[in-house]
Structure 1
Amino acid sequence: MRATFLGTGGAVPTTVRAPSAVLVNRDGERLLFDCGEGTQRQMMRYGTGFGISHLFVTHLHGDHILGIPGLIQTLDFNERDDPLAIHGPPGSKRHLEELVRAGGYQPSFHVSVHETRPGNVAYRGDDYEVRAFETEHRTSSVGYALVEDDRPGRFNRERAEELGVPVGPEFSKLHDGESVELEDGTVVEPEQVVGDPRPGRKLVYTGDTRPLDSTAEIAESADLLIHDATFTDDESGRAAKTGHATAREAARVARDAGVRKLALTHISARYAAHPDPLLAQASDVFDGDVFVAEDGQTVEIPFSDADD
């Protein structure tokens, strides 16, 4: 799984940071989180491809949605046939449908729009789900957590052979949770040769928000937390007034959640080209892997036990 930051800027785009958009490629399935203006150009520029299956919108401010009409029409020009599902916060359905059909345009492929509430599963995939969670901005908003199912524990081949399990299909059955009967009538249970379930990966994207306990709760032990970090400490009052977080506040959420990696994003134009103060203030609080996301940056998200 990898995340590509297509836009990392705040409400005002700059020459170095486009408005909000993050594309997640999970085993070949592409999911887009927010779609600021020009997102389709960023997708071309950074080579992510257009084959997204779902678009998850955190809220309806322009820097998160104005790329939707252009993206829809670009997909159509590329002769797309596959359907596209768009998910948004409560009260967003009519407005998102209007964006899809901006200027009277009617896409030739099916586009469905769905509202989701905090605590609900916005989308269930084959072995993962995208959950909506509470955020606090100046409008109806949600964040999204991509949470993979637990994986089977490691298979102990040596122990299986000791128990007399023949090499072959029986190994797979045991690993899949099925018991196996041997020729002498002995039954070998999966728990005898398979370790404890291993966690899947977790990616959490807040969109624009104040720092909340709900974010720390859903981001517990996340592999990557992408958090609003619009301002530094000296603009903390403005952050509170406008429904954003400072880098230090984002770092506190990451620390409390025990995440492996923190990405600071939605960077105000005042720090667009010089974000070092944001990184410094976040690093004061969170001693894990923290970075200020840059447009075009791709982050690989391995399993937590990949090095075991």
Structure 2
Amino acid sequence: MKLLFLGTSAGRPTAHRNVTSIALVFPEDQNRFWLFDAGEGTQHQLLRSKLKLGKLNRIFITHMHGDHVYGLPGILSSRTYYEGAGKLELYGPPGLRAYVESVLRYSEAHLNYELDIHEFEGDGQAFDDGRFRIETGELAHRVRSFGYRIEEHPRSGRLDLAYLASRGAAPGPLYGKLKRGEDIVLPDGSVIRAADAVGPSAKGRIVTILGDTVKCERAARLAKDADLLVHEATFGIGLEEKAALYGHSTFLQAAEIAASAGAKRLVVSHISARYADEDVEALIGHAGAVFPNIEAAYDFKEVCI
């Protein structure tokens, strides 16, 4: 499982950074990915990656500012050309449904797949598919902005293949039963207990992706004990007042949130166009004094989880 940053600029695109979008990519056997935000040009960024729109089955929007949603109509329309793409679930704040339905109506776009739009009013659970649970929390920005906490359910332990071979259990459907915690009976009548053949379950991973926000308690709550936190860092150190005025955070404030939340790793994104690469490196260095495991996102950066 990994994150692919498709856009990392704040407000407007630059020659080197597109506006916000992040893909959560699952292992190939799951054959799917999710998008978090879809700023203008996101589908062009997807074309430069290995991801295919037909494998996209969920989109999560943090807030309705253009640098987070202007790419959405193009993605929805282009997905029609991928045969067998199937149902698409779209999640986001109030206003998302009206925005999408208006664009589709006035552009006379026709989707050949089912689009299910979910709007939420505040904190709570967005969904739980049995493998992942997503919690939303409202942040502090100029418009209603949300963060997403993606919690993976505990994963079943590894099969003890050497033990199974010693018991004469051949690979096949019985292995699946053991992974589900069910005891099995071999052709000779002997029983293999799942507790003996499967190792301890692994703790699920936690990924927190926040929309635009000033430094706030809810951001820390959503990021509590996260394996990976993605936090905006629009402004540099010394511009705290400007950041607050526009509803944003600094590099240092993002580091403070990660530290207070007990997150393991922090990637900052949504970086102002005023900062060149060497400026970003310097800001990361300063913020690293507060939270050492911090790094800056850039377009097409991959982060394994």
TM-score norm. by structure 1 comes to 0.84
Equivalents in 1 of 2:253, 2:164: separation in Å? Answer: 50
SS of the residue 1:46 aligns to: coil
Residue number in structure 1 paired with 2:20: 20
Once the two structures are TM-superposed, the CA of residue 116 in structure 1 deviates from its matched residue by 2.3
One-letter amino acid of the counterpart of residue 99, structure 2: H
SS of the residue 1:70 aligns to: helix
Match of 1:44 among 43, 47, 56: 47
Residue number in structure 2 paired with 1:239: 243
Q: Structure 1 unaligned runs (5+)?
A: 302-308
Residue number in structure 2 paired with 1:306: none
Residue number in structure 2 paired with 1:131: 135
Match of 1:282 among 261, 283, 287: 287
Residue number in structure 2 paired with 1:218: 222
Equivalents in 2 of 1:272, 1:10: separation in Å? Answer: 13
Match of 1:105 among 86, 109, 116: 109
Residue number in structure 1 paired with 2:59: 55
SS of the residue 2:33 aligns to: strand
SS of the residue 1:275 aligns to: helix
For 1:285-300, what aligned pairs fall within 5 Å after superposition?
A: 285-288=290-293, 290-300=294-304
Contact kept? 1:231, 1:278, Cα under 8 Å: no
For 1:122-271, what aligned pairs fall within 5 Å after superposition?
A: 122-154=126-158, 167=169, 173=177, 175-179=179-183, 196-271=200-275
Percent same amino acid at aligned positions? 34
Contact kept? 1:20, 1:36, Cα under 8 Å: yes
Equivalents in 2 of 1:217, 1:250: separation in Å? Answer: 13
Provide, for residues 154-199 of structure 1, a one-character-per-residue CA deviation record: whole Å limited to 9, x for no partner. Answer: 55678999xx9774687765553335689xx999875566554321
Contact kept? 2:53, 2:82, Cα under 8 Å: no
Equivalents in 2 of 1:74, 1:272: separation in Å? Answer: 33
Contact kept? 1:72, 1:100, Cα under 8 Å: no
Once the two structures are TM-superposed, the CA of residue 268 in structure 1 deviates from its matched residue by 0.7
Once the two structures are TM-superposed, the CA of residue 239 in structure 1 deviates from its matched residue by 0.9
Contact kept? 1:101, 1:107, Cα under 8 Å: no
Provide, for residues 19-53 of structure 1, a one-character-per-residue CA deviation record: whole Å limited to 9, x for no partner. Answer: 10001111231100000000000101123222311
Equivalents in 2 of 1:83, 1:175: separation in Å? Answer: 29
Contact kept? 2:36, 2:61, Cα under 8 Å: yes
Equivalents in 1 of 2:167, 2:287: separation in Å? Answer: 53
Provide, for residues 262-289 of structure 1, a one-character-per-residue CA deviation record: whole Å limited to 9, x for no partner. Answer: 111000111154412331232111022x
TM-score norm. by structure 2 comes to 0.85
Once the two structures are TM-superposed, the CA of residue 200 in structure 1 deviates from its matched residue by 1.6
SS of the residue 1:37 aligns to: coil
Once the two structures are TM-superposed, the CA of residue 153 in structure 1 deviates from its matched residue by 3.8
SS of the residue 2:267 aligns to: strand
Q: Structure 2 unaligned runs (5+)?
A: none
Do residues 4 (structure 1) and 7 (structure 2) align?
Answer: no
Once the two structures are TM-superposed, the CA of residue 222 in structure 1 deviates from its matched residue by 1.8
Once the two structures are TM-superposed, the CA of residue 79 in structure 1 deviates from its matched residue by 4.9
Equivalents in 1 of 2:65, 2:92: separation in Å? Answer: 12
Equivalents in 1 of 2:51, 2:178: separation in Å? Answer: 38
Once the two structures are TM-superposed, the CA of residue 215 in structure 1 deviates from its matched residue by 2.4
Equivalents in 2 of 1:156, 1:32: separation in Å? Answer: 36
Equivalents in 2 of 1:284, 1:100: separation in Å? Answer: 48
Once the two structures are TM-superposed, the CA of residue 117 in structure 1 deviates from its matched residue by 4.0
Equivalents in 1 of 2:229, 2:249: separation in Å? Answer: 14
Equivalents in 2 of 1:48, 1:109: separation in Å? Answer: 19
Contact kept? 1:69, 1:102, Cα under 8 Å: no
Provide, for residues 78-111 of structure 1, a one-character-per-residue CA deviation record: whole Å limited to 9, x for no partner. Answer: 4565222211113432223223445332323322
Equivalents in 1 of 2:274, 2:204: separation in Å? Answer: 38
Equivalents in 1 of 2:48, 2:152: separation in Å? Answer: 29
Contact kept? 1:31, 1:55, Cα under 8 Å: yes
Equivalents in 2 of 1:217, 1:143: separation in Å? Answer: 10
One-letter amino acid of the counterpart of residue 144, structure 1: Y
Q: Which moved more, 1:18-27 or 1:47-56?
A: 47-56
Cα RMSD after superposing both structures: 2.9
Match of 1:32 among 14, 25, 35: 35
